[in-house]
Amino acid sequence: MKQYIGAHLSVGKGYEDMVDRAIDMGANTFAFFLRNPRGGSARALDVDDLEKAREKLEKYEFGPLVAHAPYTMNPAGNKESVLVFAELAMSEDLDRLEYLPGSYYNFHPGSHVRQGIETGITLISEYLKRMLDRPLKSTVLLETMAGKGTEVGSRFEELATIIKKVDRDDSLGVCLDTCHIHEAGYNLQDIDSVLQEFDEVIGLQYLKAIHINDSKNPRGARKDRHELLGEGEIGWDSIIGVLTHPQLRHLPFILETPQTTEKGYGAEIAELRKRSARIL
């Protein structure tokens, strides 16, 4: 069966160039930042480049892309400047993503910075209601988090509460990060139980994308340190278990491993395809 696998790419020379590089590395989906990940403004709008990218994505039958919000975006922050940036960044990013219809926009729900988990959840939910109050050709995804510091979203229950409060099933989903849920304490060796819990608490219909990473830390460490596939505490067996699971294998899988080159990502993608072909 066809599997959508890719990695996080830098926009570099633009969108069409990014699609070309993805094809070169054997990917048929990818993730990218719409702006400098540490903050800053969006790239200048190049409609022609976006149109060429869109045509190529169609021609090469890519799965949905999974754009990533800036790391500094925190709608649960306690500083005015932080909240203003969150408001601006997602609005602009979603406007830009309209040129790539059917894409996902993944974001870290936020850190409540000692305002308490409930305040955090309320701030994030109100924010999403504002962000999603417009017609959209993309779907916003809440990422499952490792639980570092005061991060919101390391328990499925927290994401479920946000989804319920926002009440926009058509434009809100979840991106599951294997490194993060492992570090949050979920046991990937027993993927069936994890997915059953996900289904009971959130609902599997909300699961739209997977970040497929190994982890440097033991289960429950809550530190969020990604590792190359097979070289960390999750290991190949669990990784392939996720990739080939009947309830997951149709989703886009994005690598965010600490590769230093795109060639490295290409090798990991090839390895994933080889190992899953033995099973599928």
Size of the site for Fe ion (CB under 5 A): 4
Are 68 and 46 in contact, with CB atoms under 8 Å apart?
no
Q: Which helix (H) or strand (E) holds 177?
A: strand 172-177
Helices and strands counted in the chain (H then E): 9, 10
Q: Which CB atom, from 16 or from 27, has the smaller least distance to Fe ion?
A: 27
**Residues between 92 and 151 with contacts to Fe ion, criterion CB under 5 A:** 143
**Residues between 204 and 233 with contacts to Zn ion, criterion CB under 5 A:** 224
Are 251 and 208 in contact, with CB atoms under 8 Å apart?
yes
CB of 144 to Zn ion, least distance (A): 10
CB of 182 to Fe ion, least distance (A): 12
* Residue 158 phi, psi (nearest 5): -65, -40
**CA quadruple 163, 37, 7, 111: dihedral, nearest 10:** -30
CB of 213 to Zn ion, least distance (A): 7
Q: Which CB atom, from 70 or from 120, has the smaller least distance to Fe ion?
A: 70
**CA quadruple 181, 232, 34, 87: dihedral, nearest 10:** 30
- Told to check if 182 binds Fe ion by CB under 5 A, we report no
Q: Which CB atom, from 14 or from 264, has the smaller least distance to Zn ion?
A: 264
The DSSP string of 228-252 is -TTSSSSHHHHHHHHHT-TTTTTSE
211 touches, from Fe ion, Zn ion, none (C-beta below 5 to 8 Å by class): Fe ion
183 touches, from Fe ion, Zn ion, none (C-beta below 5 to 8 Å by class): none
Are 233 and 182 in contact, with CB atoms under 8 Å apart?
yes
**Residues between 143 and 202 with contacts to Zn ion, criterion CB under 5 A:** none
Cα angle 130-135-137, degrees, rounded to a multiple of 5: 115
16 touches, from Zn ion, Fe ion, none (C-beta below 5 to 8 Å by class): none
**Please, what's the b/e burial string for 61-88 (b: 16 or more CB within 10 A of its CB; e: otherwise)?**
ebbbbbbbbbebbbbbbeeeebbebbee
Q: Which CB atom, from 16 or from 256, has the smaller least distance to Zn ion?
A: 256
Q: Which CB atom, from 93 or from 224, has the smaller least distance to Zn ion?
A: 224
Applying CB under 5 A, the span of 90-98, 170-178, 243-251, 269-277 interacting with Fe ion comes to 170-178
Applying CB under 5 A, the span of 150-158, 215-223, 252-260, 265-273 interacting with Fe ion comes to 252-260
- Told to check if 21 binds Fe ion by CB under 5 A, we report no
Q: Which CB atom, from 182 or from 275, has the smaller least distance to Zn ion?
A: 182
- Told to check if 177 binds Fe ion by CB under 5 A, we report yes
Where does this chain bind Fe ion (CB under 5 A)?
Answer: 143, 177, 211, 256
